[in-house]
Amino acid sequence: MPSVVDRIMKYAKGPQGRKVRARAERYARDPRTQAKARGLLAKLRGGGGRRKY
């Protein structure tokens, strides 16, 4: 029985996996997507302002 990593690697090497990877790389280069990611990381790190409990 193949491991999860083996199954992921097989998918990534196939045509569908290459398409998904190309799309992800395109999103990663987009400045708007980068800004969203930075905002999310700041929020997760506690830089999102005062917290209300």
Domain assignment present for residue 16? The answer is: yes
Domain assignment present for residue 52? The answer is: no
Rounded distance between C-alpha atoms, residue 1 and residue 35, angstroms: 41
Domain assignment present for residue 30? The answer is: yes
Local mean pLDDT, 10-residue blocks, the chain (53 residues): 92 96 95 94 79 59
Rounded distance between C-alpha atoms, residue 53 and residue 15, angstroms: 48
Domain assignment present for residue 50? The answer is: no
Rounded distance between C-alpha atoms, residue 31 and residue 21, angstroms: 18
pTM across the whole model:
0.57
The token pair at 26 is 């395109």
pLDDT of residue 36: 94
pLDDT of residue 47: 65
Structural domain for 25, as ranges = 4-37
pLDDT of residue 1: 78
The token pair at 31 is 């400045």
Rounded distance between C-alpha atoms, residue 24 and residue 17, angstroms: 11
